[in-house]
A and B are shown apart, each in its own frame.
Chain A
Amino acid sequence: MKFTRPDYVFLFLATVSGALCYVMVGPGVVLEATGDAAWLLLIILPQLAAGLLIGALLQRLVSREKITRTLGEGSGIHGLLLASLAGSLTPGGPFTSFPLVHAFWMAGADAGTLIAYVTSWSLLGLNRLIVWELPLMGWEFTWVRILVCLPLPILAGLLARWLTRISVLALAKAPAE
């Protein structure tokens, strides 16, 4: 349990944005924002814990070879379609889905399927659609939005696969557990 380099980056970013907030809108708002963040942390902890557990359990249930075959670099359009479908069906917020994405990454999924998954979860998530978009925005708007967004996760996945050829953007291979 130690303070690592990414932790310092986040400490720096939090300090800078806090200072900006202090200068631009005053100390009261800084306190208020801090309280909000603490409250949010409490609310998301049960969901984060579930996300981490689901990831860890799945890694034990599904073999590495199987994940590499169905969601790895060689999985083709098929892998992207599967990832998009899974993304749209995943309930819960980012605190559940990102630990899951991380688990699949470690288990051998490639950048393309991971990004297709995240894009589909964020653009086409059924949960959010039913709870927020349909009731608030109405059917007439929502069907147009969904229709035009349907192909986008696949597109993002294909683009990600193409971009990983550039070495700075290539994701590290998952360390074998």
Chain B
Amino acid sequence: MIVALVIIWGIVVVLSLQVWQRMGVTGLTASSQSAIQQFKGLMFRLPLALLMASFLVRIIPVETMTATIGPQSGLLGIAIASVLGGILPGGPMTSFPIALIFLQGGAGIPQLVSLIAGWSVFALHRLLAYEAPIMGWRFVALRVLSSLALPLLAGLLAQVVVLAITFY
């Protein structure tokens, strides 16, 4: 978290220097003004979105759905895992530990691949809290539609890879 923050602000400093070199102080004030402008648009939306996501995390029953993604669960298990991944709450600090519990509890590799891909691509929490307020619902709809099959596909490909390894 801290490392990422340092890198990101490092990028800000480098870019600022370049803008300053090319356009002087005017470029910098214009940049910060457009950043502030965009921030104003998010001022009410972002806290409300975070609040909603935080409520949803507490009412979605994830644990009760986990028994269904073992190695024998096949295609259905891959499909369930894709959906389950999409509603897993929180960021990587909560979802990877959950995935690890599944792995140790005997979930199949293809099913887990689908779970992580589903969580990465759909992440209901991220979608509601950041993507919709910043990008708008139309972008969200387009992206979700374009990505709908990806977790399934990832699981199926993983199944092929696992079979190939076993035969080899």
Contacts and interface: CB of A to CB of B under 8 A. Distances in A.
Contacts of A105: 135, 139
Chain B interface residue number, banded? 35 or more
Interface in A90-135: 91-96, 98-99, 101-102, 105, 111, 114-115, 118-119, 122-123, 127-128, 131-133
A47 B117 contact: no
Contacts of A48: 39, 42, 46
B75 interface: no
A48 to B, nearest CB: 8
Interface of A: 1, 3-4, 6-7, 10-11, 13-14, 17-18, 20-21, 24-25, 29-30, 33-34, 36-38, 40-41, 46-61, 91-96, 98-99, 101-102, 105, 111, 114-115, 118-119, 122-123, 127-128, 131-133, 136-137, 141, 144-145, 147-149, 152, 155-157, 159-160, 163-164, 168-169, 171-172, 177
Interface of B: 4-5, 7-9, 11-12, 15-16, 18-19, 22-23, 27, 30-32, 34-35, 38-59, 91-93, 96-97, 99-100, 103, 109, 112-113, 116-117, 120-121, 123, 126, 128-136, 138-139, 141-143, 145-147, 150, 153-154, 157-158, 161-162
